Amino acid sequence: MDSCSLTCISASVLGSHDFHPTLFTLQRVFTVFTDSPSNNSAIGRPFHCFVIAGMLAFGCSTLAAVEPQSSASPEAVAAKPNVLVISIDDLNDWVGCLGGHPQVQTPNMDALAARGTVFTNAHCQSPLCNPSRTSVMTGLRPTTTGVYGLSPWFRTLPEFKDWVTLPQYFQQHGYRTITGGKTYHDAYPPRDQRETGVEFDVWGYHGSGGNPKPAKKIINMQGGHPLMDWGVFPEHDSQQDDYKVATWACEQLDALAQEESSQPFMLFCGFRRPHVPCFAPQKWFDLYPEESLLMPPILRGDRDDTPLFSWYLHWQLPEPRLSWLEQAGEDRSLVRAYLASTSFVDGMVGRVLAELKAQGLDQNTVVVLWSDHGYHLGEKEISGKNTLWDRSTRVPMIIAGPNLPAGARSSQPAELLDIYPTLVDLCDLPARTGLEGHTLRPQLERANAPRQWPAITSHNQGNHAIRTDRWRFIRYADGSEELYDMQEDPNEWDNLASHTEFREVKADLAKWLPQIDRPLAPGSAHRVLTWDGKTAVWEGEPIDPDALER
């Protein structure tokens, strides 16, 4: 099958399955997989439309009733733009257009930014996959849903059983909705619920979480967690799930373009890299020679002025501390593998965007690219996520589409939560009430149009970060605080929270702390932290501060 028109600024086809990141060409790629993505084609699948209404409430906060199915005429629906949503897993601001790392090569994401708007101050709602993705899809904060950990699936909560998500809202208004790869957290929804047509009309190729894996781990790390690995593997791009997801997405675009239907589509394409294990073929590592690799800036003793509670947010995790990485001599190898994995996934993004253009769909498709959260690579003495600092919360968010300015950069605070209302607005659907984000259309039309809301990130109940254009304010559940002047101190090395001259600044920022701060939802598990006013409890076990391992 003619699966994908492959364009990658700095890309060329090698053999039948690979492309090289240092040459410039455009070719067609022919690929057939045993678990054929074409078995999940959008063609021939029925379009489902559901009318879901409900009123949700917690405490004194009421979530608005869901709007009824659209009564728009077929002609009006046909005039709507298509939507392509590309999500990336664990990608921080190490993207060319964001300037997070001076050597990173992401030509395809940069090209998308050049034809749209990149939000340079965009942040996730939670520095963890499940709650972050739940917020994007529901339009609600973790503090509203109570989903903070890798469990639960939000549909198991009675008050959200019938909550209309982003794709469902577009279903209701005439769109065909299709998804492949990682959209929600990998385990959700349960597999037996994926073919019902409720969450999406079509569930396509999902993948297997990053297989294959080497016969023996490349990195012999403490704890032996199977995901904590990185290095050159496998030999070919085509062996990676993300390649197969991109192929599946290209097939969908090809099929949709050949259809005579005038029904608009919403296509989700979810990639897993650079999430660990950070594997990529050798050619992606070749982009980052070890001898010239630049390491992220790290200040020794950086956390001497941060509260003890900041350690509780990532108390016992498989991701290694900086101390272990340095002692094992693996700090540079991890940075290199992360960069290589990032360039690899950028190549997959390029394949999908090239097919969109090759099929003539790019002129009538809104494209949104985002990552669920950032990732530390030694900064603040850790690797991984689960913090309320910029490295963990700042994410790429790029929006391009018909009649929108090109090459724009908005430094206004933005949230992943804003994707839902923004797409509703751009596609001229009836306004969706009950959402906690705000449309970014004003910033898409004029990049630095003022925005009154900061970006807010939460990680477990009572722990929040408020990010404006200048400040980052953090308050933990025990009341301890951090304050950073991001204009003067972009690395967050100087905590100003104890300085009396910033008392009013903190007071103003504290007004934005979530008024709804729901405790952990029933079934919460994995990376969950609670505080009863005296004791911090990590995954059910009281924390002993004396046991802190830096």
For residue 324, give both structure tokens: 């272990």
94 three-class SS: coil
Catalytic residue among 123, 173, 185, 275: 185
First to last CA, the chain: 52
Phi, psi torsion values for 428, nearest 5 degrees: 55, 40
- Let me know: does 247 contact 37? Beta carbons within 8 Å: yes
3-state SS of 411-478 is: CCCEEHHHHHHHHHHHCCCCCCCCCCCCCCHHHHHCCCCCCCCCEEEECCCCCEEEECCCEEEEECCC
3-state SS of 128-187 is: CHHHHHHHHHHCCCHHHHCCCCCECCHHHCHHHCCCCCHHHHHHHCCCEEEEEECCCCCC
Interatomic CA distance for residues 98 and 107, integer angstroms = 12
- C-alpha pair distances (Å), 140 with each of 204, 505, 523: 26, 27, 19
Amino acid at 520: L
CA 307 centroid distance within chain = 27
Environment class of 224 (CB within 10 Å of its CB; exposed 0-12, middle 13-18, buried 19+):
exposed
CA 222 centroid distance within chain = 27
Phi, psi torsion values for 299, nearest 5 degrees: -105, 120
* Peptide bond between residue 430 and the one before it cis (omega within 30 degrees of 0): no
For residue 194, give both structure tokens: 């994926």
Q: Which residue has the tokens 């992220």?
A: 296
Instruction: State yes or no: is 129 an active-site residue.
Output: yes
Task: Please name which of 195, 202, 153 lies closest in space to residue 179, comparing C-alpha atoms.
Answer: 202
Q: Which residue has the tokens 């675009």?
A: 253
- Let me know: does 209 contact 153? Beta carbons within 8 Å: no
Interatomic CA distance for residues 440 and 420, integer angstroms = 10
Catalytic residue among 129, 250, 278, 427: 129
**Which residues, listed in sequence order, are joined to residue 176 by a DSSP beta bridge?**
265
Contacts of residue 448, defined as CB under 8 A and 6 or more positions apart, other chains included, come to 410, 411, 412
Phi, psi torsion values for 499, nearest 5 degrees: -80, 120
Q: Which residue has the tokens 């037996």?
A: 192
Interatomic CA distance for residues 260 and 168, integer angstroms = 23
Task: Please name which of 49, 80, 4, 41 lies closest in space to residue 259, comparing C-alpha atoms.
Answer: 41
For residue 548, give both structure tokens: 């802190």
Active site residues: 129, 185
